[in-house]
A and B are shown apart, each in its own frame.
Chain A
Amino acid sequence: MMERVLVLLLTGVALFAVNASRVRRSGRRERWILASFGVPALYLAVMYLTDSDWPNLHDLANQSLGRIAHLIVKWLEQT
């Protein structure tokens, strides 16, 4: 767990440090939009830290378009 916290912190610092001045210069609307990205980031971060198997983006793709893709590939694999 501590290793994963460290990974997230280091990655976050490496990515966001250079953006600090841009955020300071940005307007209220832009900050709200940036903050809205924090919601999925928090969800995924908790998933990563707790090593949980919660629904993810690829599940959204698999449960929708993936079902049709599976049928197509199943047909293609039949000899």
Chain B
Amino acid sequence: MSVLEKGLSEEEQLSKFMAKIEAGEKIEADDWMPEDYRTALIKLISMHGISEIMGALPEKEWVPKAPSLKRKLGIMAKVQDEMGHGQMLLRVTEDLLKPYGKTREDLMQDLFKGDLKFHNVFHMATKSWADAGMVGWLVDGAAIITQTNMLNASYGPYARALKRICSEEVFHAQHGEAIIMALTEGTVEQKLMIQECLNRWWDSLLMFFGPASKQTTGSSKQDITMKYRIRTKTNEELRQIFFTKYIPRILSLGLTIPDETIHFDQEKQEWIYQQPDWNEFKEIIKGNGPKSQERLDLRRTSYETNKWVRDALAK
């Protein structure tokens, strides 16, 4: 795809490329890169970007309803950040798409057709104000873990975007935790609201990190992303980090984890837990989750309704 350096064969280019990333150097948008590296990046970053944008929708349901001026301000700022992350990541993707002659318009069409997937958690319903806290606290908390894992990604533009995103996500997690803490310290109804919310979100949180191996769901991009130094840890390692970080915090707030079997195995040095239904996961990311089509419809509707604006700007 990219122009070969003079006198170098494809094979020589590839070994030069591998030597470069193995030495910890960054690849930039205009550098030569193997085709499967480019396509893996496009898949990863476009999905990340569109997930930020689709992820704004479930939280957005609670923005106009936030129960105090302080919370209204907090959640408005938070969801705005997410849109900003989406914008930044789509820009990174657009650069990678250039050799194929594709643009953001193509990405939006891919989303509408169901070819461009968004993260499993954002296909779920948000049923109470507690969900607004949960998305900030544990969903963003999980996101921080997966994104920190890629802070040293071999692709420079993505690594730099992630630095900024991660630092903002830390605020989001604190914003979410503050909402959750107010509920856990509140009335009986508020406590029930947050426990019911955790029960509903638990499986989605486990699924967030993806299946342990491709045997579970038939495909996984963790092998190629590790080979090319985009990420360093496996899905399961990340899930274990999440447990270690959050299980004590969840319990200290007086909440119950909806999995009676979960415990830390001292011998194996890992958390033992009940697997979520990975068939359900497959259905969700295919676009058959509880809110998948409704959320896509929201974007489709606004895209159609605003067509005249895009036409006017293009003139």
Is the pairing of A and B real?
Answer: no
